[in-house]
Amino acid sequence: DGEITADAFKSQLADVGVQACFARLGIGIDQQSALFELLDLDGSGKVSLQEFTQGIQLLQASVSRADINCLFHTHASLQKQLQDLVYACRDFTDMAYELRARVSAPAAEGLPTATSCSFLELKPPCSDALVQSQDGLCAAEKPARTSSTKAVVAVHAAAATAVTAAAAEAALAAVAAELVRAPMDSISTGSCNMQVARPLPGSISDEQHFLT
b/e per residue 88-120 (b: at least 16 CB within 10 A): eeeeeeeeeeeeeeeebeeeeeeeeebbebebe
> What is the model's pTM?
0.31
Q: Given 3-state DSSP classes, what are the helix, strand and coil percentages for the chain, each rounded to the nearest 5?
A: 65, 5, 30
pLDDT tens per residue, range 14-67: 888 888 888 887 777 776 667 788 788 777 888 888 888 887 877 776 656 666
Percent of the chain with pLDDT over 70: 42
Quick check: helix, strand or coil at residue 177?
A: helix
pLDDT reported for residue 142: 47
Question: What residues contact 65, with CB distance under 8 A and at least 6 apart?
Answer: 34, 37, 38
Domain chopping of the chain, boundaries: 3-63, 120-186
**Is residue 105 over pLDDT 80?**
no
pLDDT reported for residue 189: 45
Reported as a pLDDT band with limits 50, 70 and 90, residue 114 is very low
Q: Choose between 196 and 169: higher pLDDT.
A: 169
Average confidence (pLDDT) over 106-119:
49
37 touches 47 (CB < 8 A) = no
**Is residue 115 over pLDDT 50?**
no
Reported as a pLDDT band with limits 50, 70 and 90, residue 98 is confident
pLDDT reported for residue 95: 83
pLDDT reported for residue 116: 46
